[in-house]
Structure formats: C-alpha cells, structure tokens
C-alpha cells in the first residue's frame, strides 16, 4: 500500500546517528562526509521500504576501511579480480562478537548517491542493504588514483545485526494518509513504486537520471494518459485511481495529460524532463513533457485547484 513520505524519515535518520552505547559498539555520526552521506542515503532508502535505520559502527568501519585500502592496492597493481573482491568470510572476522546476520557489499563509483543507487539496483546488494534484521553498518572508502578509474571511490560496507542494537532501533512510524483525496505515486527505474504524495510534492527523482515509468493517481473523477517510449500515446485511463505508463517493461514516460471530470476542481501539473529540468506548469488536460524527442520524464508535481 502506498503511504505518504514525510519529514519523519529525517527524524528516523537523526535517531539512527545519535544512539550510542550498545554492546555492538555503535557510534555517533561518522566524521568522514562521504561516509556520512552513504549512511544518510542508506537510511532514507530503508525508511522508504519500511526497515528501521542502521547505526554507524566505528569498530566495524575500521575493518571496512582496511579492506577498501586493500582493494585500492589491487587496483593500482592491476591485480583486481572481481571473483575475489570480497573477503573469504564476507567480513565476519572484523565484526564484534554476537551478530545474528552479516553481509559485505562493495561498490566503486563517483559519489555516495551513485554508490547506494547501484547497490539498490542489484538484487543481492539491495537485499543486504534493506535486511530488516540489520542494525549496524561499518563503511570504508578510498578514492582511486588509477587513471582508468577516473578518481572513483572504492566503498566497502559491512552490515551486521545485533540483538542489543535492535532494542535501541527507533520503530518505523506509520506514514500519515495524504491530506487530500487526490494523491499520486511514481514508479521509478531501479526503485519501483514510491510512497504516495500530494499537494504539489515531487513524485519521481531529480538528479539521478532515472526514468519515471508509471504514475498512479489516487482518487475519482480524473482522466489521465501517458506518452510512452515505443508506444506513443496510450489510451485514456478513467477508472478510480488510474495508473498510466507501464510497469515491468523498462520504458520511459515522455509526456502526460491529466484532466478532471468534476465541475468544481481542475489540475495543474508539471514534469521534470531529461536535459531540460522543470518545464512550465500546464493546466487541466494539457500536455506536460515532450513528444518526439526521446526524453524521459524524471519527476512530476500535481496540484488540485478550485475551478471557480
């Protein structure tokens, strides 16, 4: 069921970085800005998927950092082998005693957002990152100096679950119902369905170069359709809570139209388009986006206005 995302995810994140003192040696906010950003993005994704936040663990991070340096040394020596990029024990030997789950995930990319997005796009990495039993996370990072890698960053994350930390984890709050009967949710490349939003909030993503593949519109009295890659304009959808676009076909929406069948309300909406950014607001039934330019819609904002 779609739920509205709110500032509560920020509160969850803050709590995850401030709790200290479990037997698994959880620590406060990491000093390294890159690592802090990886933690932040990780816990936002966990909140969006109904999982409690993980704590930054300094003791685990020391072992993660050592392995990140080892991988970088192999890169510089031209001896990196993807078959042996992980430790043989998946990092168990560096963990404080007593974990009831653990995993090691590694990424090499340009920034923290790309690192975590790559993990989320890989089924095995995503499963580790969103594991509901996970409580602690250690992270190490080293920027490569090998020319072929273009100064990308090697990131090693060791994730573990401890009963003692689990007691301290904040609960995931029940997200509030959208404050209007007209809400909407985006289906995003590599992400899937997002939470419902309303009142002109953003559905989709900005700055991640991800296509918006479908849009679900909650409420009655509306017609909608999408112009889709290789499909063109698809039929108008007029059922309660219509969904436009496609799911499971990896196709971008390029333009949308939304219009009201109710006499007292109208819709205003705009889209964020590849290589263009936010396009101008359009009114009930007008085209938002582009046709014939092969440009993906990345985000949508919709407002309900009084027709009088």
Question: What is the per-residue pLDDT across 174-185, written as a single tens digit (0 to 9) for each?
Answer: 444 444 567 888
Q: What is the mean pLDDT of the chain?
A: 84
Q: What domains does the chain contain, in order, with CATH numbers?
A: 33-168 (3.40.33.10), 183-306 (no CATH)
Confidence of residue 64 (pLDDT cuts 50, 70, 90): very high
Distance CA 72, CA 208 (A): 26
Residue 234: DSSP 8-state: P
Higher pLDDT, 9 or 145: 145
Residue 70 CB neighbours (<10 A): 16
How many residues comprise the chain?
Answer: 308
Contact 181, 240 (CB under 8 A): no
- HSE (side-chain half, CA atoms, 13 Å) at 112: 15
Place of tokens 């089924």: 123
pLDDT score, position 1: 33
DSSP readout, 278-307? EPPPEETT--EE-SSS---EEEEEEEEEE-
CA distances from 226 to 26, 46, 232, 244, 296 (A): 48, 30, 8, 6, 12
Mean of pLDDT values over 282-295: 96
Closest by CA to 45, choosing from 78, 13, 67, is 13
Which residue's structure tokens are 């119902």? 177
Residue 159 pLDDT > 70 = yes
Which range has the top average pLDDT, 8-17, 216-225, 267-276?
A: 267-276
Task: Look up residue 57 and give its DSSP letter.
Answer: B
> CA torsion 11→126→275→203, rounded to 10°?
-50
Check the CA dihedral 115-117-123-125 and report its sign.
Answer: positive
Tell me how far apart the alpha carbons of residues 119 and 128 are, in angstroms, rounded to a whole number. Answer: 9
Q: How do residues 227-256 score in pLDDT, each as one tens digit? A: 999 999 999 998 667 889 999 999 999 999
Take residue 140 and report the two structure tokens written for it.
């190490």
Return the ∠ at Cα 90 (arms to 89 and 94), rounded to 5°: 80
pTM for this predicted structure: 0.53
Closest CA to 283 of 303, 264, 262, 261: 303
Dump pLDDT digits (tens) for 113-134. 999 988 988 888 889 998 999 9
Tokens 């704590």 correspond to 55
In the block, tokens 């168990």 appear at 92
Name the one residue in this structure whose structure tokens are 């997002």. 194
């Amino acid at each position: 069921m779609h739920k509205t995302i709110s500032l509560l995810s920020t509160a969850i994140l803050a709590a995850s970085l401030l709790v200290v003192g479990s037997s698994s040696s959880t620590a406060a906010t990491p000093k390294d800005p890159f690592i802090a950003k990886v933690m932040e993005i990780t816990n936002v994704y966990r909140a969006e998927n109904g999982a409690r936040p993980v704590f930054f663990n300094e003791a685990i991070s020391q072992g993660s950092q050592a392995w990140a340096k080892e991988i970088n040394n192999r890169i510089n020596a031209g001896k990196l082998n993807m078959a042996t990029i992980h430790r043989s024990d998946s990092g168990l030997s560096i963990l404080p005693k007593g974990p009831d789950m653990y995993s090691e995930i590694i990424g090499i990319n340009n920034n923290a957002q790309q690192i975590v997005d790559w993990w989320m796009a890989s089924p095995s990495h995503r499963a580790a990152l969103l594991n509901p039993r996970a409580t602690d996370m250690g992270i190490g990072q080293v920027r490569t100096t090998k020319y072929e890698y273009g100064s990308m960053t090697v990131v090693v994350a060791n994730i573990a679950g401890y009963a003692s930390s689990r007691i301290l984890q904040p609960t995931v709050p029940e997200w509030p119902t959208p404050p209007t009967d007209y809400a909407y949710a985006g289906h995003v490349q590599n992400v899937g369905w997002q939470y419902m939003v309303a009142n002109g909030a953003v559905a989709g993503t900005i700055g991640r170069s991800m296509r918006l593949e479908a849009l679900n519109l909650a409420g009655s009295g509306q017609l909608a359709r999408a112009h889709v890659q290789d499909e063109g304009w698809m039929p108008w959808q007029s059922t309660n809570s219509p969904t436009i676009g496609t799911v499971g076909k990896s196709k971008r929406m390029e333009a949308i139209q939304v219009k009201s069948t109710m006499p007292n309300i109208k819709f205003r909406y705009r889209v964020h388009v590849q290589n263009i950014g936010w396009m101008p607001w359009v009114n009930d039934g007008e085209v938002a986006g582009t046709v014939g330019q092969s440009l993906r819609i990345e985000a949508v904002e919709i407002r309900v206005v009084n027709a009088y």
